[in-house]
Amino acid sequence: MAFLDDGAAGKRGDLPSWLPGELYVIFLSIVSELLAFTAVGLIAAWGEWFPRWFPWLHGRTIPTPVAVVPAVLGATTLTIMWTAAFLTELAGVTLRGDPTPADFPSRAGGWEAFVYYLCYAPLLLWGPLLAAVTFAYYRRRTAEHRTAPGGLQRIPELSRR
């Protein structure tokens, strides 16, 4: 969209002059997707041990707090952020308290507002769902640690690969 939006031409916001806006949007999108993908590690087997390419720690289990603490912080931040964004938007103001601009998608009415809400409403579930997955990861991992002692354990089948 950064390349197709003629209305954004010349609008730089707070970006430094040396950074093209389109490149910033692409970089921000990639970083966001990579961070979001780390949540898959809470349900996938690769989220329980360090990979082969990780220096010095490869094949060892990841300590539970190393995954749980950032996930809890992320879930809390996402829940607060998107709840605040939706409540202020429904109240007709921006997060800064200014009135919502006339060209804001939700003010268009009709099918445009419906599509806007349809696309953005799932963001309200992002934080709570991340919290649920984090809790499941924590319970699974703490149950494993009760039966298998030790913090950083070497997983033999990974060490041989």
What's the pLDDT score for residue 47?
87
As a whole number, mean pLDDT of residues 43-64 equals 86
Pure H helices in the chain: 21-37, 64-90, 110-120, 123-147, 156-159
For 107-158, the pLDDT digits (tens) are 888 888 888 889 989 999 999 999 999 999 999 998 865 655 555 555 545 5
Lowest-pLDDT range of 7-21, 41-55, 79-93, 105-119: 7-21
What's the pLDDT score for residue 42?
92
**Is residue 29 pLDDT above 70, yes or no?**
yes
Report the chain's terminal Cα–Cα distance, integer Å: 43
Of 41, 34, 44, the closest CA to residue 67 belongs to: 41
Task: Compute φ and ψ for 99, nearest 5 degrees.
Answer: -60, 145
**Is residue 101 pLDDT above 60, yes or no?**
yes
Task: Compute φ and ψ for 115, nearest 5 degrees.
Answer: -65, -40
**Is residue 73 pLDDT above 70, yes or no?**
yes
CA of residue 77 relative to chain centroid, distance: 10
Of 36, 32, 5, the closest CA to residue 21 belongs to: 5
Report yes or no on whether pTM surpasses 0.75: no
Residue 61 neighbours by CB distance under 10 Å: 21
Among 22-26, 45-49, 82-86, the range of highest mean pLDDT: 82-86
* The two structure tokens encoding residue 39: 């949540």
User: Angle at CA 57, nearest 5°, toward 56 and 61?
Assistant: 170
